């Protein structure tokens, strides 16, 4: 997870530098694993006053991970970062509620073949 996190953080930092006005409100981490994409998005797009509360800048977060054990552990690891509720962890894109499907400001697809 540390290597995935650092690579994704570097990519998101580059995105933030090139598009400084882009402030995502929703995020999808596809092939989330343990949620390293969610952690990287939190650390790149948060400010010092909201660094411990992802809800202040990301209103809706979803993670897609087909492996049951990875999904359970990822949900556990990311659940404390949200005050209003856990991020949505599902096993496929079809499991995302129909009103939310395909409507994300930021989509992270790291190391997915």
Query: Percent of the chain, pLDDT > 90?
Result: 42
In total, how many domains does the chain have?
A: 1
Full-model pTM: 0.82
Indicate if the pLDDT at residue 100 is higher than 70: no
pLDDT at 48 (0 to 100): 45
Predicted confidence (pLDDT) per residue in 33-69, tens digit: 999 999 899 889 875 444 454 445 777 888 999 999 9
Indicate if the pLDDT at residue 8 is higher than 90: yes
pLDDT at 16 (0 to 100): 94
| Residue range of the domain that includes 27 | 2-109
Look up the CATH number of the domain holding residue 27: 3.40.50.150
pLDDT at 12 (0 to 100): 95
- DSSP annotation of 63 reads E
More confident residue, 105 or 53: 105
Strands 60-64 and 26-30: parallel
In sequence order, what are the beta bridge partners of 29?
Answer: 63, 108
* H-run or E-run covering 61: strand 60-64
CA distance from start to end of the chain = 17
Phi and psi dihedrals of 52, rounded to 5? -100, 0
Rounded to the nearest integer, the mean pLDDT of the chain is 83
The lowest-confidence range among 8-22, 76-90, 97-111 is 76-90
């Amino acid at each position: 997870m540390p290597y995935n996190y650092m690579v994704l953080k570097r990519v998101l930092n580059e995105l933030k530098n090139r598009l400084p006005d882009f402030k995502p409100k929703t995020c999808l981490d596809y092939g989330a694993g343990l949620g390293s994409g969610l952690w990287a998005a939190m650390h790149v797009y948060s400010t010092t006053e909201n660094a411990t509360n992802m809800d202040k800048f990301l209103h809706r977060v979803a993670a897609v991970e087909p492996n049951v054990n990875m999904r359970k552990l990822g949900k556990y690891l990311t659940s404390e970062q949200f005050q209003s509720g856990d991020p949505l962890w599902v096993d496929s894109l079809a499991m995302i509620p129909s009103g939310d499907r395909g409507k994300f400001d930021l989509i992270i697809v790291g190391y997915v073949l």
